[in-house]
């Protein structure tokens, strides 16, 4: 019973549409009708500005972290990574936003923060180095997914390899359109770094 409750809570946590809430409550707009139409952090930065983008990013990270900690807090032997994956699925397909969510990057990062803080710091550093060099948020997100999977393989932790492999797949798959735009040189670059 407790496992089912944790799975439900993790999905509902992941489903909280941070970008939609911040956009509607503080700017009076639905970010799904602006920019890329995505609910994630990148579109929040583009549509709502840097401060709002930071808030949405932190909220999306927190969803993944809290979900991975639920088994510990509720005294369950459920693998924390499973709760984390469920939160990421909730982020991508949120019940509170018509099942149209984000691209899984920040919430996946939050999952890793909850189970492997050092790994989280490594991928965070990798993200900013890639962003500085390429100016593409999408490409940096894809690179980080690959770095995270490589890190998991180096650790030789089988559950982590499986889950990070799945999260990396989510991230890369949900950036298909971005990959096409990068190839066509139509993907927007950041201007603040």
Residue 110's contacts (CB-CB under 8 Å, 6 or more residues apart) are 60, 61, 62, 63, 64, 65, 66, 67, 68, 84, 87
Task: Decide if 122 is inside a domain.
Answer: yes
Report the pLDDT averaged over residues 23-51. 89
pLDDT band at 125 (very low <50, low <70, confident <90, very high): very high
Residue range 82-118, pLDDT digits in tens: 999 999 999 999 999 999 999 999 999 999 999 999 9
pLDDT for res 141:
96
- Structural domain span for residue 48: 2-183
Number of domains in the chain: 1
Predicted model pTM: 0.94
Task: Decide if 109 is inside a domain.
Answer: yes
Residue range 128-138, pLDDT digits in tens: 999 999 999 99
Task: Decide if 41 is inside a domain.
Answer: yes
Q: For the chain, how many helices (H) and strands (E)?
A: 10, 0
Residue 107's contacts (CB-CB under 8 Å, 6 or more residues apart) are 14, 60, 61, 63, 64, 87, 88, 91
Task: Decide if 117 is inside a domain.
Answer: yes
Task: Decide if 192 is inside a domain.
Answer: no
Averaged pLDDT score across all residues of the chain: 94
Task: Decide if 140 is inside a domain.
Answer: yes
pLDDT for res 46:
87
pLDDT for res 14:
97
Q: Flag whether pLDDT at 19 surpasses 90.
A: yes
pLDDT for res 63:
97
Residue range 159-172, pLDDT digits in tens: 999 999 999 999 99
Task: Decide if 191 is inside a domain.
Answer: no
Reported in sequence order, the residue ranges of 85-127 that DSSP labels E, i.e. its strands, are none
pLDDT band at 45 (very low <50, low <70, confident <90, very high): confident
First vs last C-alpha separation in the chain: 48
Q: Flag whether pLDDT at 192 surpasses 80.
A: no
Q: Flag whether pLDDT at 39 surpasses 90.
A: no
Task: Decide if 137 is inside a domain.
Answer: yes
pLDDT for res 123:
97
Report the pLDDT averaged over residues 64-87. 97
Residue 64's contacts (CB-CB under 8 Å, 6 or more residues apart) are 14, 84, 87, 88, 91, 106, 107, 108, 109, 110, 111, 112, 113, 114
């Amino acid at each position: 019973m407790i496992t089912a409750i944790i799975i439900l809570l993790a999905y509902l946590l992941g489903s909280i549409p941070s970008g939609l809430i911040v956009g509607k409550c503080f700017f009076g707009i639905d970010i799904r009708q602006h920019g890329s139409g995505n609910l994630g952090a990148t579109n929040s930065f583009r549509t709502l500005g840097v401060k709002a983008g930071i808030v949405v990013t932190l909220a999306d990270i927190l969803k993944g972290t809290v979900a991975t900690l639920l088994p510990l807090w509720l005294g369950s032997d459920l693998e924390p990574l499973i709760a984390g994956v469920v939160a990421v699925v909730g982020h991508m397909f949120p019940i509170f936003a018509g099942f149209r969510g984000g691209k899984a990057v920040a919430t996946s990062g939050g999952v890793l923060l909850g189970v492997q803080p050092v790994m989280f710091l490594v991928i965070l550093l990798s993200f900013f180095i890639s962003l500085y060099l390429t100016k593409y948020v999408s490409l940096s997100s894809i690179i980080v997914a690959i770095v995270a999977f490589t890190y998991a393989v180096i650790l030789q932790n089988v559950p982590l390899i499986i889950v990070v492999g799945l999260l990396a797949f989510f991230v890369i798959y949900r950036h298909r359109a971005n990959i096409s735009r990068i190839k066509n040189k139509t993907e927007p670059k950041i201007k603040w770094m």
